[in-house]
Amino acid sequence: MLINFNNLEINNLDPKTEFEKKVFFLVEGWLSDSKKVKVQTSGSTGIPKVFEIEKEKMLNSAEMTCNFLELKNNNTALLCLPIEYISGKMMVVRSFERKLKLFISEPSLKPLENLNQEIDFCAMTPLQVENSLDKIHFIKKLIVGGASVSESLKKKITQTLLLSHSPTKIYETYGMSETLSHIALKEVYPSSDDYFTVFENIDICVDKRGCLKIYAPKLNSEVLKTNDLVEITNGNQFKYLGRIDNVINSGGAKIFPEQLEALVKKEIPNEVVFLGMKDESLGQKLILVVEGEESEAINQKLSSINYQQKFHKPKEIIFVEKIPRTPNGKINRLELKSIF
């Protein structure tokens, strides 16, 4: 299904699949007199919840993204994310704000499988990108969110797009439901930046814990206090270090699992998670969970990793068939920890 927001005639839309019907109802609800839209959180850091957001603030968020990416009226966009969450809803709102032509594709691990034309703008998860490398050259501007873009995926993206000589630009997003999708982007390709750049009219700082605080009055009237440890530079850029509630205290040393995971993913393609498990002598014992089958080749690569500190080396490595994820593809650390 294609929705042309530059010349929207809702009565002419003919949704056939369940997903298309959900999109249709969202468009219909947006055109109604109601000033708010219901949004469900992902549940990656706690219990999923539903809350209402003002349409005006969603439009403000859409304008920030469209301006940053220089999207124009009549550009094409592709929706391939679940419409229940803010990520999917905001693709529709951006199409409203910038009057885009929005193609609707059923959310799946291979959303570009049937794509055979260029698309100006799309949003995907890392897993979707991983399974769409043969087609991402069709996307001119791609934002990737829901989870961090691993080093191994960055390598695959670079190798693929360099061979195709594609002008594609890819950005990793930073945000949450409360910031109405993202408030900052970090270029992944063709450049590979370390720091996220926040949008205009958004102020950031850190609290006493070193965690990011966000003041974005056009998106949320409250100052948002996060549990994300960051390093700020130039006033409007920051490097993400990890979540404070994921920090592992092993023998008095603080360990940031996300940084170690990025290091390991430079060496192996598997999904990996570092966890701190209860230990009588250390307080927390550092373990590494690897998704997939154990093999001599992977074990050799794992044993050759040069960790910055001795206590960064895991005390135990466990292979699992599948690492649990939330419905929108994020690693579910709470569930994974409960398994062990």
14 against 172, higher pLDDT = 172
Rounded Cα gap, residues 36 and 34, in angstroms: 6
Indicate the domain borders of the chain: 2-201, 247-339
Is there a shared CATH topology between the 2-201 domain and the 247-339 domain?
no
Confidence of residue 47 (pLDDT cuts 50, 70, 90): low
Write down the pLDDT at residue 151.
Answer: 81
Closest CA to 263 of 213, 222, 308: 308
Per-residue pLDDT averaged across 301-320, rounded?
Answer: 93
Reported as a single tens digit per residue, the pLDDT across 91-113 is 999 999 999 999 999 999 999 99
- Superfamily for the 247-339 domain: ANL, C-terminal domain (3.30.300.30)
Report pTM.
0.82
Write down the pLDDT at residue 39.
Answer: 77
Reported as a single tens digit per residue, the pLDDT across 111-149 is 999 999 999 999 999 989 999 999 999 999 999 998 888
| pLDDT reading at 262 higher than 70 | yes
Q: What angle do CA 64, 85, 178 make, to 5 degrees?
A: 55
What is the three-class DSSP state of 300? helix
Confidence of residue 9 (pLDDT cuts 50, 70, 90): confident
Write down the pLDDT at residue 229.
Answer: 93
Confidence of residue 220 (pLDDT cuts 50, 70, 90): confident
| Mean of all residue pLDDT scores within the chain | 91
Per-residue pLDDT averaged across 201-229, rounded?
Answer: 93
Q: What angle do CA 231, 85, 290 make, to 5 degrees?
A: 60
| pLDDT reading at 313 higher than 60 | yes
Confidence of residue 68 (pLDDT cuts 50, 70, 90): very high
| pLDDT reading at 330 higher than 80 | no
Confidence of residue 280 (pLDDT cuts 50, 70, 90): confident
Residue 43: phi and psi, rounded to 5, are 85, 15
Q: What is the DSSP string of 36-103?
A: EEEEE---SSS---EEEEEHHHHHHHHHHHHHHHT--TT-EEEE-S-TTBHHHHHHHHHHHHHT-EEE
Per-residue pLDDT averaged across 309-333, rounded?
Answer: 87
Confidence of residue 328 (pLDDT cuts 50, 70, 90): low
- Superfamily for the 2-201 domain: ANL, N-terminal domain (3.40.50.12780)
24 conformational bin, left if phi > 0, alpha if psi -120 to 50, beta if neither:
alpha
Confidence of residue 82 (pLDDT cuts 50, 70, 90): very high
Write down the pLDDT at residue 41.
Answer: 63
Q: What 8-state DSSP symbol labels residue 331? A: B
5 against 330, higher pLDDT = 5
Write down the pLDDT at residue 329.
Answer: 66
Write down the pLDDT at residue 339.
Answer: 85
